[in-house]
Chains A and B, each alone.
Chain A
Amino acid sequence: MTAGLRARGLGKRYRRRWALTDCTLDVPSGRVVGLVGPNGAGKSTLLNLAVGVLTPTSGTIEVLGGRPASGAAQLAKVGYVAQDTPTYAGLSVADHMRLGARLNPAWDEALARRRIDRLGLDRGQKAGKLSGGQRAQLALTLGIAKRPELLILDEPVSSLDPLARREFLQDLMEAVAEQELTVVLSSHLVSDVDRACDYLIVLVDSRVQVCGDIEMLLATHHRLTGPRRDPASLPADQHVISASHTDRQSTLLIRTDGPILDPAWTVSRLTLEDLVLAYMRRPTDVERHDGPVLEVQR
């Protein structure tokens, strides 16, 4: 089985600023991947590299075993719903369906019709007159009816109100269930990912902080609360993600594959949001400077 997306030492520089550095990733196919990170973390850059709108400055990226946008066949395999879901304002909904049918050999006309009817979109209406939610749905319909193997969505719901957001994601999930798509979805909101995804990539400061199956991540991350102690004294297989201390108590967020045997700790489960926020707050180089950072905090 080929990887959905495979990056090795991938980097992208705009003039002098690196938007993405040393990104190594394997996204298995058949998953719904959530790509989260704060604004400006490099999410769009990574996705644009994956669809071939950008070319890497360093490293390599492979999508479904091929170089992004290397030809019509590769383009046909990857669907993309760009940020702000652009559509042709002067073309009607029906025109967009025709565009999809003309430009994609694998176009699924029946699927497109079904979706447009279910969404209640007026075929004659110009895309420029649609609401943000309807426009996003139209763009998603184009992406899905193309019958790609991988569907990439770059913040598709960022401009939608909470209700439209929920409907859009639900709709996406139905399509995924029907078609066995691999999906990569970026968002700066954890709740979107929590609702839709089963695989997580956290991107902060143009670097991948964590990457993996969501259930697995939740099973291997724990919050430890107990008497104050130095995180450096933990067993070697327990990696500290974040630490906070009061005079008497320490709260640590750790990742470990093994069980936690120390009875001094109260162990509690994390929510996905806790986990993502811990990685987002973590300074990129925390592991090397654990001691001094603690000193400063005291």
Chain B
Amino acid sequence: MIWLTWRQFRLQVLVIFAAVVTIAIAMAVTGSELLHAYHADTVGFLGQIVNDRVDKTLYLLGLALLYAAPSVIGAFWGAPLIARELEAGTHRLVWNQSITRSRWLAVKLALTGVAAMAATGLLSLAVSWWSSPIDQAVARGQSAGPFSFPRLFPIVYGARGVVPIGYTAFAFALGVAVGLLLRRSVPAIAITLAVVIAVQTAMPLAVRGHLIAPVRLTTAITTSNFTGLHGSGPPDRGPTLQGFTVRAGKPGDWVLSNQTINAQGVVPHTLPAWVADCFLPKQAAIGQGATRVKAPTPRLLDGCFTRLADAGFRQRVTYQPASRFWALQWRETAMFLTLALLLTGFCFWRVRRDLT
């Protein structure tokens, strides 16, 4: 059975592993230079490499490949694994050799699944190692061009560490299960692609931030931590302000919410009108009735912040500290491995039942 699985699967495995090894070699060659450059000039590192086209390309390529790998493997390795046998009727040939269906499925799933996880694992290892100087520089507050997202941020997080392995295992098992359910390769490929991409999108939006209870911080809004305010309406004619944003934690932290709360501890719909008047004072009309917002002086601003604090307004920030990167990685990976196991269990159950 091992031989048959290999015989049916060798071309796809060789192509993918050749690609992964090529990328790993490219990363190994350029990665040591990158590391050297980082140690030579730790402070100006990102500013230096931002003009290097090779580094930029490899950085983005690493992200793109690791985000694409689970859905591609799920759709093109997982979905046809059994669906193609059912379509061609060859399951009736192989299930009537002297080997039980469970054993047949076990060997097929184990070999292909392990190959899939190894391929993404290797790719993630290469990309994570190559990017580590960049990630460290970003975590220290540097930022330049594409190198401006800490590794806990959604765009980078899924392309680092062990989560790509978890996503791949899940996508592969999902592909197999959908293929087994639909018994058609093409719809199974389409559905697997759609579901995996949906899950990849939903995870950072709704789930990841809560895998560990985020840190909640309530702080006064001051000149030193104030980073901006947001609202709607034209800035020249009395905008409606909705809230402030402040800086909290370290540069590598992942801020989930940054909200202004009032004395009752709830997020107000809008801030009182005096806040806008204080922070965005109108200047005398210029020309035909147009007004212009003038930046308030620091002394004026201090007064505004004091008044804000007296009125009971504070800022509530929830975030995941950068130090939780690995804790979150392991949890998310474990979650997807569990899902993959459940889907695998379904496949074993289904394959033992009627399938003509």
- Footprint of B on A, CB under 8 Å? 44, 48, 51, 53-55, 69, 71-73, 75-76, 78-80, 82-84, 86-91, 95, 98-100, 102-106, 139, 142-143, 146
B96 touches A79 (CB 8 A): yes
Query: Which residue among B3, B90, B93, B99 has the maximum number of chain A CB atoms within 10 Å of its CB?
Result: B93
Shortest beta-carbon distance from A294 to chain B in Å: 41
B355 x A53 contact (CB < 8 A): yes
Min CB distance, A125 to chain B, in Å?
16
Given contacts A53-B355, A89-B88, A103-B98, list 15 more A-B pairs with CB under 8 A: A55-B354, A71-B100, A75-B97, A75-B99, A79-B96, A83-B89, A86-B88, A88-B88, A91-B7, A95-B7, A98-B3, A99-B7, A99-B97, A103-B1, A142-B93
Q: List 16 A-B contacts (CB under 8 A).
A: A44-B356, A48-B356, A53-B96, A69-B95, A72-B98, A75-B96, A78-B96, A79-B96, A82-B96, A86-B93, A88-B88, A90-B8, A99-B7, A99-B94, A103-B98, A103-B99
Interface string of B46-87 (1 = CB under 8 A from A): 000000000000000000000000000000000000000000
B356 adjacent to A104 (CB under 8 Å): no
Chain A min CB distance to B195 (Å): 27
**CA A51 to CA B98, docked complex, whole Å:** 12
Q: Mark B95-125, 1 if CB is under 8 A from A, else 0.
A: 1111111010000000000000000000000
Pick the contact of A104: B7, B98, B100, B354 (CB < 8 A): B98
Q: Does B4 make an interface contact (CB < 8 A)?
A: yes
A102 with B354, Cβ < 8 A, contacts A75-B99, A86-B90 known: no
User: Does B294 touch A at the CB level, under 8 Å?
Assistant: no
B92 at the interface (CB under 8 A from A): yes
Closest to B101 in A: A69
Minimal Cβ-Cβ distance residue in B for A103:
B97
* Interface size, chain B (Cβ < 8 Å): 23
Once the chains are docked, how many angstroms separate the CA of A293 from the CA of B157? 79
Complex Cα distance, B101 from A86, in Å, reads 17
Q: How far is the CA of A142 from the CA of B4 in the complex (A)?
A: 15
Residue-wise, chain B 289-321 has the 8 Å CB interface mask toward A (1 for contact) of 000000000000000000000000000000000
Q: A3 to B100: give the CA distance in the assembly, Å.
A: 23
B9 to chain A, nearest CB (A): 11
Q: Is the CB of A146 within 8 A of B92?
A: no
Find chain B residues with CB under 8 A from A72 CB: 98-100, 103
B contact residues vs A (CB 8 Å cutoff): 1, 3-4, 7-8, 88-90, 92-101, 103, 353-356
Cα of A48 to Cα of B88 in the assembled complex, Å: 17
A70: nearest chain-B partner, CB-CB: B100
Nearest 6 pairs of A and B residues by beta carbon: A103-B97, A86-B89, A76-B98, A82-B92, A80-B96, A104-B98
B4 near A82 with CB under 8 A, answer no
> Most A CB atoms within 10 A — which of B1, B7, B101?
B7
Bound form: Cα–Cα A82–B92 in Å? 6
- A69–B94 CA distance with the chains assembled, in angstroms: 12
Pick the most buried of B7, B97, B355: most chain A CB atoms within 10 A of its CB.
B97
- A48–B89 alpha-carbon span in the complex (Å): 13
Taking a contact as CB atoms under 8 Å apart, the answer to whether B89 and A82 are in contact is yes
Q: Is the CB of A88 within 8 A of B8?
A: yes
Cα–Cα distance between A142 and B88 once the two chains are bound (Å): 17
CA distance A54 to B96 in the complex (A): 12
> CB-nearest residue of chain B relative to A102?
B3
In the bound assembly, the distance between CA atoms of A123 and B352 in angstroms comes to: 33
With A55-B353, A84-B89, A88-B93 already in contact, the answer to whether A99 and B100 are too (CB < 8 A) is no
B94 proximity list for chain A (CB < 8 A) = 99, 103
Closest to B7 in A: A95
